[in-house]
Amino acid sequence: MADPADIYRSLPIAHRADVVVIGGGPAGFGAAVAAAEEGADTLLIERWGFLGGTATAGGVNPFMRYMSGEVVVNAGVFGRVLEALDERGARGGRDISDRERRQFDPEVLKILLDEMALAAGARLLLHSFMVEAVASDGRVERAVIANKSGLQAVEADLFIDASGDADLAARAGAEFEMGRDEDGLCQPMSLFFRTAGVDTDRLPTYEQINELYRPEKAAGRIDNPRDDVHGAIFTTHPGEITHNATRILAHDGTDAVSLTDAELQGRRQIRELMTFFKDKVPGFENACIGSIAAQVGVRETRRVIGDYVLTRDDFEQAAKFEDAVARGCFSIDIHSPTGHGLYGQRMPEGDWYDIPYRCLTPKGVDNLLVAGRPISCDHYIHGSLRVMPIAMSTGEAAGVAAAMAAADDLTTRGVDVAALRERLRARGASV
C-alpha cells in the first residue's frame, strides 16, 4: 500500500508563499495582515467564503473584554478593526454600561476584514479546507488543502496554524492536549443565534427571565442542560438580540461525526428556546429567528505543547514575561463540561497577564507558529485566552514573527524576540 505522505508529496504545488496562514478567524486575520504588512508574501487560507471565523460564521457577539480598568490590553490590528467599525457606524449597542462598546455588526465586519486583508497585501484563498500536512525533520514541508479545484498542495517557508483546533500542528506531529486533566472533557459548545422583531423596551430583567425559564426546564419542556438562560445581548440594530443560550455537552470539535451531532443538537435547542421566548417572555410575542450561526461555537479542543505552557497560576499572579508578545485580561470563564454551572475568576482592574512568544512555538516543529485558542496553555487559563481580542493579538504577534523569520531565513526559534517586541510596539500593539 502506498504511503499517504508519498501521495501528498506527489500533488502539484498550487500555491507558494513566504508565509501561509491556515484559518481566517480573528487569529488568522491578525496574522495575515501583520505578516503581509511586514513584507512577507502571505497566503491566507479560509474554509468559509468570508473571514472572521467565530465573529462572523460563529455568530459570537460581542467581543469579550479587552480593557482592564483604563488600560487597553488588546490593541494593534484589533484596535484598528474597532476604529474601522466606528467609522462605518457598525459598533456599539444598547447596553450603555459597556464602555468598551464591544458589540459589532458582523455583516459589516465581513466586508471590512476583506478590505483590510487585501490592503495589507495578503492573498486570500477562500472555500479551502486544510486536510493534511507533510512534515519531516521538524519542518512542515507542505499543507494539503481541499476545495472546488480538488486536492492541492501549498508550500511556504513559515506556516501559522490559526485553525482554532491546531489542525495543522497536530497533523505535522506536534504534541498537544485536550480538555481538563481529570477526564479529558472540553468545555461545551454553543450555537449562537439572533432574534429579530423583539420589543426590547418590554424585556424583563435577566433574573426575571430565568424565573420563567426554570419551571419550563423542571417540567421537561426544555431539554437544554443550562441551569439558566443568558441575558439579552443587544446588537447594533433595534429590536435585535444575540443569544448565547445553547449548551452542547461532551462533543469533540475535532471529530466530524461529533460536530455534525452538535449542530443538530444546537438547532433543536434553539427551537425549544424560541418556543419559550415567544410563549413566556414579554417582548418576544412577535419575534422571529433572525439568523442562526453558520457553525457551532467550539470553545475548546486541542492545545499545543509549546516551549512554555501558560497556566492558571500565571493568570492568578498576573505574570509578566521578558518574551511577552501579547496580553490578556478577560476572566477565566469555564462553562462546565458536565453541564451545570460556570467557573469564573476575574483579573484585578488595571492588570493583565502576558503571553510569551514561547507559547506560540510548538515543540518539535521549527517553521510553524500557532495563534489563537490552541496556543500552549492549560485548561484553566485557556478559559480566558480563547476569546477574539486575545486571539487577534497572538495572531498579529505570530504574523510579525513569521515575516521576520522568512526575511532572514530563520527558524521560529531563531527570531530575535526583543526585535519582535519592538516591531509589535511600533505597530501599536500592547506589549
pLDDT at 150 (0 to 100): 95
Q: What is the pTM of this model?
A: 0.96
Helices and strands: H and E segment counts in the chain: 11, 21
If residue 179 lies in a helix (H) or strand (E), which one and from where to where? none
pLDDT at 99 (0 to 100): 63
pLDDT at 98 (0 to 100): 57
Given a cut of 70, the residues of the chain with pLDDT beneath it are 1-2, 93-99, 231
pLDDT at 9 (0 to 100): 87
**Cα distance between residue 298 and residue 300, in whole Å:** 6
State the DSSP string of 269-316.
Answer: HHHHHHHHHHHHSTT-TT-EEEEE-SSPBP---EEE-BSS-B-HHHHH
pLDDT at 232 (0 to 100): 72
pLDDT tens sequence across 132-182:
999 999 999 999 999 999 999 999 999 999 999 999 999 999 999 999 999
pLDDT at 426 (0 to 100): 98
**C-alpha cell read off for 117:** 486583508
